[in-house]
Structure 1
């Protein structure tokens, strides 16, 4: 449990908690709360709920799936979309962060801060060495995001030893096919907040984006090696947990 200001982060502890998270995911990803956004990976994950202290309204959820090391990478959600053979050699504990979403009516940046505080606590308590997941752009039209993709190509591609390969049938190979110089201001404006956070921690991405029509997103595989996070960024993240 982690409380900062107006918000409380905690791990789901009941079936009711899980259903509440799945309802919020359905609302955020699909525009309604009449059903549950659920899949077979939910049973393998710890689910983090962020609620308002006053009233208990659920404003943000995400899930964490632990893996002992790279030998278990094929168990991950991301492995459905990316060929991750290179990461099978990763020697340490890993965790996949997924299904991150906030309530559509909330825009408080403190929610993202406490989410990263909860993530930091989880990483520290479980000695995680690699944090990874699919970072999503809204919609499947690449046009609005070309500067962001060009910046990712120039500055944030995965090292060759970990680089994910193409597996999904429909992808945008931005590293190979994009021929523009990024407008860095425009790139920052269209970069999803979660992906910006990954990058600030020294994160890297795949050289292509998956066009996911089911979720209506473009997503890139994103990894953060915990030992490579800049010291100043680590201090900021851990300050949230105190």
Structure 2
């Protein structure tokens, strides 16, 4: 059984393509579903609000330990925030300032911007430079700091985040996406089934292969392939990683333990050309599925 079929069976999900005519995305608003909207942050105050959402998820919920100034300010903030675009999901039914409406966020970094400012965030954990060097004809974008407030962890919110990512990638002519995705905790052995499943079934190979930096690399090959129950493995995957797999993503061949964020990280690699036709059809070849 294919990974796509296993994913759909595990989730009990049926996604049908839309017959709605596509409307090209313009400006910074990428889509709307009901009271939810996805677009780029427009002001420093909105970026600050997104950092507050990240703090609530990463520190208050996941027990990350940030630098003292960030902990004092109750904001997840680093130097990359100044050069990234910040994708937001807003709940327009919430009364008050726009900043109070932000319920989810992603951080997006284009290759040309990263290279002009010291490189990608993921390069601190994974050998992304070698990956980029093998694809001089493609422009990469990094996805990071994905988080959604607990009350909004629904299919609609996830759809809008991916609508935003897809629209942004098309708008800027991106050829591939990559970024860290995390398991909770700093003991990879606690995720032996899931990590081994990823290693044996969706590990990036050949021209797309990527490994953790040698000084940080932790093995993902913790179980022999014949001992892996694929259905059980899929059920133990974090929702974000499961979502990437449905799109057609691959993963790094080794993991990294991030003690500050209390996570075990893998690198997700998603060539645009590999995105499942099912999802291209769903969101629209011009990202018009949920565009206004």
Separation in 2, partners of 1:73, 1:83: 17
Aligned residue for 2:45? Answer: 16
Equivalent residues in 2 for 1:121-132, closer than 5 Å: 121-132=167-178
**Structure 2 length normalisation: TM-score?**
0.76
Equivalent residues in 2 for 1:169-184, closer than 5 Å: 169-175=215-221, 177-179=222-224, 181-184=227-230
What is the root-mean-square deviation in Å for CA atoms of aligned residues?
2.3
Aligned residue for 1:204? Answer: 250
Aligned residue for 2:13? Answer: none
- Of structures 1 and 2, the one scoring higher in RCO (CA 8 A, sep 6+) is 2
Separation in 1, partners of 2:132, 2:76: 28
Aligned residue for 2:32? Answer: 3
Separation in 1, partners of 2:157, 2:279: 18
| Mean CA deviation greater in 118-127 or 29-38 | 29-38
Separation in 2, partners of 1:88, 1:241: 35
* Aligned length, in residue pairs: 241
Q: CA deviation at 1:11?
A: 0.7
| Mean CA deviation greater in 118-127 or 100-109 | 100-109
Separation in 1, partners of 2:43, 2:117: 27
Aligned residue for 2:208? Answer: 162
Structure 1 residues 60-101: Cα deviation after superposition (integer angstroms, max 9, x where no partner):
111110014997897100000012213322121111010000
Aligned residue for 2:87? Answer: 48
Answer yes or no: is the 8 Å Cα contact 1:135–1:222 preserved in 2: yes
Matched, 1:37 2:82: no
Separation in 2, partners of 1:31, 1:22: 13
Separation in 2, partners of 1:57, 1:70: 29
Aligned residue for 1:87? Answer: 132
Alignment partner of 1:161: what SS? Answer: helix
Separation in 2, partners of 1:70, 1:12: 19
Answer yes or no: is the 8 Å Cα contact 1:52–1:58 preserved in 2: yes
Alignment partner of 2:152: what SS? Answer: coil
Answer yes or no: is the 8 Å Cα contact 2:125–2:216 preserved in 1: no
Give the greater-gyration-radius structure (CA).
2
Separation in 2, partners of 1:192, 1:73: 31
Q: Give the direction of change, closer, same or farther, for the CA distance of 1:51–1:214 in structure 2 (3 Å limit).
A: same
Aligned residue for 1:190? Answer: 236
| Mean CA deviation greater in 94-103 or 24-33 | 24-33
